[in-house]
Chain A
Amino acid sequence: MPRVKASETFTALWQQQLSDYVTAIVWLPADSPFPNHSLLAASAAGEITVFAAEGSQVHPIELQAPTDASIDALALAHTGQFVAAGGQSGEVKIWRLQAQPELIATLENAPAWVDRLVWHPAQNLLAFSLGRYVQVWDADTNQVVATLHFENSTVLDITWDPAGDRLAVSGYQGIKVWSIADWDADPTWVEIPSASQLIAWSPDGKYIASGNIDRTISVIEWENPGLPWVMQGFSGKIRQVSWSDTALKQGAPLLATSSSQSIVVWERHPDETIGWEGKVLGQHDDTVEAMQFQPGTSLLATAGADGWVVLWQKLNRIGQMLQGAPGGFSQLAWHPKAQQFAAGGQRGELIVWKQTSRGQGFG
């Protein structure tokens, strides 16, 4: 990998240890009952822990001890009031997050493996995968309000549109989009000629990016879903599709994608025939396992199985390289507001880095 050029700006603030591969990291909002920079993390051994953090002082509060059945999905309701977790056991557990977190519901779905769950952006509605179905559960009434049949295959991914009007579900041969106004109405069908493994709705609601099993990426314009842009020529499996939350000159956010060791950042081109223009960033030495743009900026952080976290400054050069997970990283999550991010490792490492001096070119 290229050497670091810019001055170091992020330094490790604290480090904790989970018992196995970190599968999820979620930051808690400012008005949670925990200190301002606290987060939740889960592992493939099944534990879920709140790390209540003030500065470098960290106090772990266990929501669930290791069970030996992995937690694969962990998500926080929009208010930060509820946290939901799902995994290999088939149970979806929901806690009310208070000073003493309280388990308020356990939905049993064994032997299904619940690996996707997402909260509605503005309501206490939780959508989760259940084999070939998605169920939508209302935390206010403790009721399942919809059971959506994807049909074509097991559900591979789920995403709400940012306004919360629609729910997109992906799998073999495409994406089905249901309207929250009428769960019984037939979903809109967006065809993908292989299987859509990962989907992400852009923060402006205009696009859905889909990482497909045949090593292609489709970008669907929601107003015109019949003719997606298709990006191809990737050297491996598409692992991530991740949007920035800020629009650039062309009015569209940036899309970062990864396959094998390589990372491409796509920008909407003014020329319709070009569509999206990709810029290949440098490489990790092993699979890129996680990536996210810093909220409000176009600073991209990537975490690799090679044991490095890389901050890509101005989208073309390496701003900083960080390490701390000798067995490779698995997760990465930016704090929604503060200049901090957390990364999780394949051997259970959990590290938070904080920006110590405002580096040039960030933001």
Chain B
Amino acid sequence: MVTTELNDRMSDQDVVPVTVLTGYLGAGKTTLLNRILTHEHGKKVAVIVNEFGEIGIDNQLVVDTDEEIFEMNNGCICCTVRGDLIRIIGKLMRRRDKFDHLVIETTGLADPAPVIQTFFMDDDMQSKTALDAVVTVVDSKHIWQHWDSDEAQEQIAFADVILLNKTDLVEAAQLDELEQRIRSMNVLAKIYRTRDAQVEMAALLGVSAFDLNRALELDPHFLEDSQHGHHHEHEHDETVKSVAIVEPGAVDGAKLNQWMSQLLQTQGPDIFRMKGILHMAGEEQRFVFQGVHMLFDGRPDRPWKADETRRNELVFIGRNLNEDQLKEEFRACLA
């Protein structure tokens, strides 16, 4: 497990927010990118793209790159990074006054994890940029043909914002079914239904999804389902899903630490993202955390309010998650 402080300079004016744009081939990423570049949002946006020439706009700040995955010696999945981003962003940041926001477009078949991990692992990216959000564009009609693809599932699992695009091509009932399915995979993401990737810029840029100071926002319906035991029939599930744990009681820090270390060591590769707010025994402040695979970032947050119910809320998004076991192991961490 690697402990990092992803957002320790979040408030720093010099830090450039970064949006990672993912989506299967043909989902509408380029349409969205063109929209971001032409929209009058008063921001100077620099873009790193994988397929040069697709963008129909002449822009000094469009940089082309070939995705280059660098793995470290030790084979740890969290140490898999994008070598090209380290090289290019390091150079772009020398003129950080030239742009206010950076968008990184990934290829349709990309696993988003190495991009996100690069922001945790590289010194310059950690100190000079802040990951704002992972935005995934989904082709509402054709996604049904791609559920077998690991990449399509992972792009949804890692997302903070999901656009269900091309809504004009599908029936309302099918769209509802799709949204429900995606919600079960990723309970944390904000989901928008779009046509031609039309969405408010405020929903895309400046989301601060990786900022620990932002409250954990869960879909209340999902939580209800989860608490009433309406979870899926398979205990071991190959498909990506979300597990939410809501528990009263105070957490024993040492026990939690031990459990978390062991969990990330054994299941890190299957846990894509996690987030949580914890009530630590003997602490007046909330403890907030997030994780990407084996990377873990946590710290005390604001004090609990007098009228607030002190409880623990955790969300895991991953593959092969055993919901009952996770809940049981978490309960064993209570003081």
Interface residues of A (CB under 8 A from B): 20-21, 23, 44-45, 68-70, 72, 88, 111, 113, 115, 131, 153-154, 156, 172, 193-195, 213-214, 236-237, 260, 287, 330, 346
Contacts and interface: CB of A to CB of B under 8 A. Distances in A.
A154 B70 contact: no
A153 B85 CA distance: 13
B234 interface: no
17 contacts: A68-B60, A70-B91, A70-B94, A88-B63, A115-B87, A131-B66, A153-B70, A172-B83, A194-B70, A194-B72, A213-B83, A214-B72, A236-B123, A237-B122, A237-B124, A287-B123, A330-B94
B79 A214 contact: yes
A131 B79 CA distance: 23
Nearest to A193: B73
Given A70-B95, A153-B83, A213-B86, A237 B66 contact: no
Given A44-B91, A236-B123, 15 more contacts: A44-B94, A44-B95, A45-B95, A70-B91, A113-B91, A154-B87, A194-B70, A194-B72, A195-B70, A213-B70, A214-B73, A214-B79, A260-B123, A330-B94, A346-B94
B12 interface: no
B77 to A, nearest CB: 14
Contacts of A20: 94-95
A113 B66 CA distance: 11
Interface string B56-95: 0000100110101011110000010101101110010011
Nearest to B60: A68
Given A111-B52, A153-B70, A88 B91 contact: yes
Nearest to A20: B95
Contact of B83 (A88, A154, A287): A154
A111 B123 contact: no
Which 8 pairs, one residue from A and one from B, show the smallest C-beta to C-beta distance? A193-B73, A237-B123, A21-B94, A111-B64, A44-B94, A236-B123, A214-B72, A195-B70
Nearest to B61: A68
Contact of B84 (A111, A154, A260, A330): A154
A23 B94 contact: yes
A216 to B, nearest CB: 9
A194 B73 contact: yes
Nearest to B97: A20
Nearest to A45: B95
Given A193-B73, A194-B73, A72 B91 contact: yes
A70 B124 CA distance: 18
Interface in B124-154: 124
B95 A154 contact: no
Nearest to B68: A153
A213 B122 CA distance: 9
A75 B86 CA distance: 24
Contacts of B63: 88, 113
Contacts of B91: 44, 70, 72, 88, 113, 115
Contacts of B70: 153, 172, 194-195, 213
Contact of A195 (B60, B64, B83, B123): B83
A11 B43 CA distance: 43
A115 B90 CA distance: 12
Nearest to B122: A237
Given A70-B95, A193-B73, A156 B87 contact: yes
Contacts of A154: 66, 68, 83-84, 87
Contacts of B122: 237
Of B52, B66, B95, B124, most buried by chain A (CB within 10 Å of CB) is: B95
Contacts of A68: 60
A68 B94 CA distance: 12
Contacts of B52: 111
A131 B68 CA distance: 11
A23 B94 CA distance: 9
Contacts of B79: 214
B89 to A, nearest CB: 12
A119 to B, nearest CB: 22
A172 B95 contact: no
